[in-house]
Amino acid sequence: MREGRLLRGVHRTHTGVHPALESVLAAILGLLVGAVIMLLWGYDPWQAYWALLKGAFGGFGYEIPTSVARGVPLILTALTFSICLRAGMFNIGAEGQMYVGAAAAVTVAYLRLPYPWHLLVGVLLAAAAGAIWSLGPALLKLTRGVSEVISTIMFNWISRFLVFYLVAYVLVDPRQAQRTVRIPFSARFPILVPGTDLSAAVYMALGFALLVYFLLWHTAVGYEVRAAGLNPTAARYGGISIRRTVLLSFALGGVAAGLAGAATTMGLPPTYAIISGLPDLMNLGFDGMAVAMVGRNHPIGILFAALFFGGLNAGGRVMQFYGENPVPLEMVRVVMGTIVLAMAIPELVRIFPALVRAGRALVRRAGPAQGEEA
């Protein structure tokens, strides 16, 4: 049974369809619904999707590198969600942890170091900031029993306005008040394809995804995290400390989100800074949750899902300029939303037999009124 090795840990769902195929079907369904909506609004879906496809994957010189670059932060924020989900928790906090990571990365501008070390220090600062920020909800959960869903959402708002403040008053560039100081050359991820946004940050994201895969499926620590996520009672019986797995998965998720912050500052030309209002960061944490779902919360699946979502983002920009009646960018978000909804269909399939049974029971109750049967 070697073929299944790579996607080990992706569990079959109720439809009986392979989870990877299920994700593909959800994506196709999302695109179809998008097409129907475009038709209703009088756009030409063929033309729009053709533009989107060309814009996303039409060439190696610009389109594909751009799609990959768009996927890089999504890989990392998706990992944040997935690591915690594997440990049995809903961590909605990637967004805020990423903001804090980005702010921490910008602080390297005040340091003077030679090239690879300066970059490394920035990455480590961002990772540490993300991890520390994620410990808030983790500790609240462990000490006070606060639901991580609530606390991570609240921490998102705290970090959002904290970083707004930092950008406006602390890290601000005295000459360019709309953004922070720029990250110096010695702390920037090298650009891999000139003229595109694709930087060496992609290696960091890939490496971290592989590291998470190895950690979860090839170490005793990861084994404990997965056991605690699937059956906490059995995990306790197995001598596993749930406290430890909660702390560890939150911290690791925070590191991933912090790295996403590093990728979107130290690896994002041309600004290499945080712009006031955080336009380059906004929603990447939330989109990461969609990527995690489509990627079936598996590090390898996430890589493919992030490429797909990155392509949608990159291609969507092209779509809105293409032809005489271009389709607005918002349509791409409709497609993304539909895909996420379609991912919930396996659950519907499970509910469906229950509905059928309930219907039959109703008929049976009405039945004896008509006539007694043996």
14 binds another protein (CB under 8 A): no
Residues in the interface with another protein (CB under 8 A) total: 25
227 binds another protein (CB under 8 A): yes
Q: How many CA atoms lie within 13 A of 214 on its CB side?
A: 6
350 binds another protein (CB under 8 A): no
CA-wise closest residue to 261 among 328, 337, 205: 205
Return the number of the residue (28 or 218) whose C-beta is nearest another protein.
218
What are the residues whose beta carbons fall under 8 Å from the beta carbon of 133, sequence distance 6 or more?
Answer: 93, 96, 97, 100, 101, 155, 159, 254, 257, 258
Coil/strand/helix, residue 228 = helix
147 binds another protein (CB under 8 A): no
The token pair that represents 318 in the structure block = 């092209």
Are 30 and 338 spatial neighbours (Cβ–Cβ below 8 Å)?
Answer: yes
360 binds another protein (CB under 8 A): no
Return the number of the residue (270 or 368) whose C-beta is nearest another protein.
368
Return the number of the residue (40 or 366) whose C-beta is nearest another protein.
366
Return the number of the residue (112 or 365) whose C-beta is nearest another protein.
365
Return the number of the residue (216 or 291) whose C-beta is nearest another protein.
216
16 binds another protein (CB under 8 A): no
221 binds another protein (CB under 8 A): yes
Return the number of the residue (165 or 236) whose C-beta is nearest another protein.
236
The token pair that represents 302 in the structure block = 């996430």
236 binds another protein (CB under 8 A): yes
Are 80 and 92 spatial neighbours (Cβ–Cβ below 8 Å)?
Answer: no
239 binds another protein (CB under 8 A): yes
Instruction: Find the binder of another protein among 6, 11, 207, 356 (CB under 8 A).
Output: 11
CB atoms within 10 A of CB 277: 13
Least CB distance to another protein at residue 252 (A): 14
What are the residues whose beta carbons fall under 8 Å from the beta carbon of 202, sequence distance 6 or more?
Answer: 68, 69, 72, 192
Return the number of the residue (40 or 220) whose C-beta is nearest another protein.
220
234 binds another protein (CB under 8 A): yes
How far apart (Å, rounded) are the C-alpha atoms in residues 168 and 9? 44
Instruction: Find the binder of another protein among 190, 195, 207, 238 (CB under 8 A).
Output: 238
The token pair that represents 345 in the structure block = 């269909």
DSSP state of 199: B
The residues of the shown chain that bind another protein, judged by CB under 8 A, are 1, 11, 218-221, 223-224, 226-227, 230-231, 233-241, 361, 364-365, 368
